[in-house]
């Protein structure tokens, strides 16, 4: 942006949709740039805004001036501005809040600036009369460099950033960007390298001569390795360096999340299917936008395809963005990318501390990190020159953010690729119906990996019909004889077992045995779950908890039947069955502490765990070659949700968890226990037949006009008072209906369903209502909502009753 543009467009992080024009006073004009934050007067307040570009037209008389420029460097490149605008418009979220959501939280760059006095500054301070604030700053710095934060505290909170710029430009102070602790904690390893000077033969002691021999053979070696050959080497290299025979230097080491060194690797020889996929993608590279859907069965080597495509992209000087659904999988992906690409890999996810995130963010902005791997929010990585955006496990629902800005990172990957004229690559063994449909309609191009690598076979899946064991008492009711036998055989062979049950806690359905009343949450319309380990009933929606010795609310009886099997109880049962087996449980309760997921995965990898049981956390993407049996305890739990995607989710979950079996040299088996063996989602998962699942499901979507044949927007209405909430839901519903009636030609294609009470009618003391808007034309649907919002802003205001707009909703309950 040219500084003389004078007037700038600023977005502010408040609930308004428009942007504002400000002028940049002369003293600041040179510092204003797209992507920086500015301090602006806003009504009676001073708030932070984001510079988006030159003003796009405004009313001169009202324009106020920017008070300060808050950032030294832009926080995002100008190429991202259209992306932010698109998101704000599509997801109906205020632009400034979109930008705020995109930037790493807790980002306060001022904290990281170290200021010191220069010699010129010393001299000027002694000689000249400066303005009082500058005087104070320089005087303070006389006692040594300090953080800029300290100057704010000691002198004045409102020192304008521009003053620092100007003092620096005059050469009176210098500023240094200090990276926070975490960034500097890099582990370094000492290496020695041969220099040009050769010692005279026979002049060195035997061990020194031996060091030189080793070095002559290898050219460069780490001191650690050298010590393995010559134990006294550490003491001898210094003198050798002094004599000029070798040089000592340090290299940054990368360790995998398990603490082990990552050894550099090289591209694998691709099998024909992989080669075709890589070729197909690379053939398109540089020719503009295109999205590929890589459908490869579990264990077919999709990651190797990503790596080799990424390599091509990097060679052309463009950037690579890789999205992965979960932190545990990020570390696995990071490991493989680091082994291949080393230093240029950056990561972005919520488990990083604020300082670490800031470091990563600046490494991306500086062009140091050219590959970024991250979770959902990494879609906002501040890249300018993207070559490809890869979305692994593209079907995963964790790409959808619930709450605040309700976006889907998978969909945004496609949008960003479009805007950047680059490629998007979505990969999955169980693609979403939406994405696969896009290949059918040729919006996306399909690439297929039908086989596992190295001729490994897909696991054999056998079904156990739970209806037959319904009346069985005891353990046999949960763990069928078939599963039991498979587990026994596996453990005897020294291999590992994975058990999947998608429900945590001990008992998910505690019921009074006297009157039949379930134990309910005080704040939600939901039954509580008994958690034995923490001795409490817990609500999984709001966190409410009550003592495990609670009595029935209705009749006061203390006899509560603990129905509904959860992972805790499964753990107890399995421990009884296999007292000698080493057992671990992975669910949200055992993974609250940082690093706990890794610890569990390490147990699997190091074979200190024989049986891992857990919720859907165990289903996702992990690659553990020694797991040869997977037991699915009850396949039906996700089928009964009142949601049009219930079948899709069930299929994905089952096929994914089954895919964890037999990834090594030995073939795998899956025992799938179900009450609905004939349900097409379960049957298709058994046959691992994505296409037959798709064909059934797409027919059902078409018949009911659900996505992908229509688009859906859900208005989520919630409030603490049942009557006002209901009333507001009805007011909003009436507004929808009358808008449609008044402009029936325009909005004929839009269906309005509701208002209805949500299936979870109360969560965390909030009463919940919904209106579903469905239309085959997304543009019309957006027009409809825009008009609704602009005609009736009160319908959406955030007072007593909250209305959230969820475009392409996932969580429908």
Residues that bind Zn ion (CB under 5 A): 512, 514-515, 517, 521, 523-524, 539, 541-542, 544, 552, 554-555, 557
How many CA within 13 A on the CB side of residue 374?
29
454 binds ligand ADP (CB under 6 A): yes
268 binds ligand ADP (CB under 6 A): yes
Residue with the CB atom nearest ligand ADP in the bound state: 301
Among 33-41, 302-310, 400-408, 518-526, which window interacts with ligand ADP (CB under 6 A)? 302-310
Give the C-alpha distances (Å, rounded to integers) separating 799 from 434, 765, 772, 803.
35, 16, 22, 9
Residue 745 contact partner, candidates ligand ADP, Zn ion, none, CB within 5 to 8 A by sort of partner: none
Which of 74, 104, 301, 374 is the binder for ligand ADP (CB under 6 A)?
Answer: 301
Residue 539 contact partner, candidates ligand ADP, Zn ion, none, CB within 5 to 8 A by sort of partner: Zn ion
Q: How far apart are the C-alpha atoms of 730 and 498, rounded to whole Å?
A: 48
215 sits in which H/E element: helix 206-218
Nearest CA to 789 out of 719, 747, 726, 739 is that of: 739
Q: How far is CA 326 from the centre of its chain?
A: 6
Residue 301 contact partner, candidates ligand ADP, Zn ion, none, CB within 5 to 8 A by sort of partner: ligand ADP
At its nearest, how many Å lie between ligand ADP and the CB of residue 266?
12
At its nearest, how many Å lie between ligand ADP and the CB of residue 275?
9
Q: Pinpoint the alpha helices (H) of 455-502.
A: 481-492
270 binds ligand ADP (CB under 6 A): yes
626 binds ligand ADP (CB under 6 A): no
- Residue ranges of E strands in 488-581: 496-500, 507-512, 529-531, 536-538, 545-547, 560-565
Nearest CA to 357 out of 183, 565, 113 is that of: 183
Residue 268 contact partner, candidates ligand ADP, Zn ion, none, CB within 5 to 8 A by sort of partner: ligand ADP
Give strand pairing partners of 390: 322, 425
Which of 9, 68, 256, 304 is the binder for ligand ADP (CB under 6 A)?
Answer: 304
Q: How far apart are the C-alpha atoms of 388 and 28, rounded to whole Å?
A: 37
Residue bearing tokens 């964790």: 398
Nearer to Zn ion, 6 or 722 (CB): 722
- Tell me the three state secondary structure of residue 567: helix
Q: Pinpoint the alpha helices (H) of 578-627.
A: 596-605
Q: How far apart are the C-alpha atoms of 575 and 176, rounded to whole Å?
A: 57
Residue 552 contact partner, candidates ligand ADP, Zn ion, none, CB within 5 to 8 A by sort of partner: Zn ion
Nearer to ligand ADP, 55 or 300 (CB): 300
Residue 517 contact partner, candidates ligand ADP, Zn ion, none, CB within 5 to 8 A by sort of partner: Zn ion
Nearest CA to 667 out of 628, 630, 631 is that of: 628
559 and 511 Cβ atoms separated by less than 8 Å: no
Nearer to ligand ADP, 269 or 745 (CB): 269
623 binds ligand ADP (CB under 6 A): yes
Q: How far apart are the C-alpha atoms of 399 and 413, rounded to whole Å?
A: 10
Which of 274, 688, 714, 770 is the binder for ligand ADP (CB under 6 A)?
Answer: 274
Among 26-34, 294-302, 361-369, 526-534, which window interacts with ligand ADP (CB under 6 A)? 294-302
394 binds ligand ADP (CB under 6 A): no
Residue 555 contact partner, candidates ligand ADP, Zn ion, none, CB within 5 to 8 A by sort of partner: Zn ion
What the block records as the tokens of 744 is 């029936």
List the 751-763 sheet strands across, edge first.
751-763, 766-775, 711-719, 801-807
- Tell me the three state secondary structure of residue 632: strand
262 binds ligand ADP (CB under 6 A): no
754 binds ligand ADP (CB under 6 A): no
Q: Give every CB contact of residue 687 below 8 A, 6+ residues apart in sequence.
A: 461
The conformation of residue 549, written as its DSSP 8-state character, comes to T
Which of 92, 302, 531, 762 is the binder for ligand ADP (CB under 6 A)?
Answer: 302
Site string for ligand ADP, 220-239 (x = CB under 6 A): --------------------
Q: How far apart are the C-alpha atoms of 581 and 579, rounded to whole Å?
A: 6
Residue 298 contact partner, candidates ligand ADP, Zn ion, none, CB within 5 to 8 A by sort of partner: ligand ADP
Residue 382 contact partner, candidates Zn ion, ligand ADP, none, CB within 5 to 8 A by sort of partner: none
What the block records as the tokens of 596 is 């706990």
Site string for ligand ADP, 23-62 (x = CB under 6 A): ----------------------------------------
Contact positions with ligand ADP (CB under 6 A) in 98-137: none
673 binds ligand ADP (CB under 6 A): no
734 binds ligand ADP (CB under 6 A): no
**Contact residues for ligand ADP (CB under 6 A)?**
268-271, 274, 296, 298-304, 453-454, 623
């Amino acid at each position: 942006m040219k500084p003389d543009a004078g007037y700038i467009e600023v977005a502010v992080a408040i609930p308004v949709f428009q942007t504002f024009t400000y002028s940049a006073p002369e003293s600041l004009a040179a510092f204003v740039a797209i992507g920086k934050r500015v301090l602006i007067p806003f009504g009676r307040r001073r708030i932070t805004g984001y510079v988006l570009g030159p003003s796009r037209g405004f009313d001169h008389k009202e324009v106020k001036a920017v008070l300060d420029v808050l950032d030294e460097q832009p926080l995002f490149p100008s190429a991202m501005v259209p992306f932010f605008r698109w998101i704000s418009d599509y997801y109906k979220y205020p632009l400034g809040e979109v930008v705020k959501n995109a930037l790493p939280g807790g980002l306060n760059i001022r904290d990281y600036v170290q200021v010191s006095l220069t010699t010129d500054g010393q001299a000027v301070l002694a000689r000249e009369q400066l303005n009082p604030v500058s005087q104070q700053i320089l005087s303070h710095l006389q006692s040594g460099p300090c953080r800029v934060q300290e100057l704010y505290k000691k002198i004045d909170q409102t020192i304008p950033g521009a003053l620092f710029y100007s003092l620096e430009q005059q050469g009176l102070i210098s500023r240094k960007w200090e990276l926070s602790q975490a960034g500097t904690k890099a582990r370094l390893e000492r290496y020695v390298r041969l220099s040009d000077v050769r010692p005279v033969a026979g002049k060195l002691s035997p061990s020194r001569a031996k060091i030189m021999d080793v070095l002559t053979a290898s050219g460069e070696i780490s001191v650690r390795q050298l010590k393995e050959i010559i134990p006294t080497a550490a003491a001898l290299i210094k003198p050798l360096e002094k004599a000029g025979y070798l040089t000592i230097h340090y290299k940054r080491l990368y360790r995998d999340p398990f603490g082990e060194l990552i050894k550099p690797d090289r591209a694998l020889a691709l099998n024909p299917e992989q080669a075709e996929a890589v070729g197909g993608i690379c053939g398109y590279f540089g020719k503009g936008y295109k999205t590929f859907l890589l459908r490869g069965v579990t264990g077919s080597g999709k990651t190797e395809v990503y790596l080799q495509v990424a390599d091509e992209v990097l060679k052309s000087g463009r950037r690579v963005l890789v999205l992965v659904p979960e932190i545990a999988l990020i570390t696995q992906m990071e490991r493989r990318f680091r082994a291949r690409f080393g230093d240029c890999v950056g990561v972005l996810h919520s488990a990083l501390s604020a300082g670490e995130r800031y470091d990563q963010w600046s490494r991306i902005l500086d062009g140091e990190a050219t590959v970024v791997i991250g979770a959902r929010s990494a879609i906002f990585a501040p890249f300018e020159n993207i070559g490809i955006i890869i979305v692994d496990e593209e079907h995963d629902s964790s790409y959808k953010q619930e709450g605040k800005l309700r976006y889907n990172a998978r969909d945004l990957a496609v949008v960003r690729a479009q805007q950047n004229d680059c490629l998007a690559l979505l990969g999955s063994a169980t693609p979403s119906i939406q994405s696969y449909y896009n290949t059918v309609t040729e919006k996306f191009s399909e690439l297929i990996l039908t086989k596992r690598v190295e001729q490994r076979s897909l696991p054999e899946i056998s079904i156990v019909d739970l209806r037959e064991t319904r009346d069985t008492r005891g353990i046999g009711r949960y763990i069928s004889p078939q599963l039991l036998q498979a587990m026994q055989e596996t453990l005897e062979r020294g291999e590992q077992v994975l058990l999947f049950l998608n429900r945590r806690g001990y008992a998910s359905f505690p019921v009074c045995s006297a009157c039949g009343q379930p134990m309910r949450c005080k704040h939600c319309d939901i039954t509580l779950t008994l958690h034995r380990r923490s001795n409490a009933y817990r609500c999984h929606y709001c966190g409410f908890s009550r003592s495990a010795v609670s009595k029935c609310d209705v009749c006061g009886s203390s006899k509560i039947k603990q129905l509904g099997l959860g992972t805790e109880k499964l753990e107890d049962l399995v421990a009884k069955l296999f007292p000698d087996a080493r057992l671990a449980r992975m669910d949200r309760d055992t993974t609250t502490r940082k690093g706990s997921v890794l610890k569990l995965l390490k147990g699997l990898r190091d074979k200190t765990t024989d049986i891992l049981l857990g919720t859907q956390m165990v289903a996702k993407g992990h690659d553990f070659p020694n797991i040869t049996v997977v037991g699915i305890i009850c396949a039906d739990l996700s089928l009964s949700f009142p949601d049009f995607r219930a079948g899709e989710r069930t299929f994905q979950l089952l096929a994914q968890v089954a895919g964890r079996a037999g990834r090594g040299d030995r073939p795998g088996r899956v025992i799938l226990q179900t009450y609905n063996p004939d349900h097409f989602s379960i049957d298709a998962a058994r046959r691992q037949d994505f296409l037959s699942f798709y064909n059934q499901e797409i027919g059902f979507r078409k018949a009911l006009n659900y996505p992908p044949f229509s688009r859906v927007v859900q208005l989520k209405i919630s409030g603490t008072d049942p009557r006002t909430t209901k009333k507001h839901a009805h007011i909003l519903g009436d507004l929808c209906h009358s808008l449609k009636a008044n402009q029936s030609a325009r909005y004929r294609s839009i269906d309005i369903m509701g208002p209805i009470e949500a299936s979870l009618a109360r969560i965390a003391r909030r009463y919940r209502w919904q209106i579903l808007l469905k239309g085959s034309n997304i543009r019309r649907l957006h027009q409809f909502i825009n008009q609704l919002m602009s005609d009736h802003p009160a319908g959406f205001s955030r007072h007593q009753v909250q209305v959230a707009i969820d475009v392409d909703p996932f969580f429908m309950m």
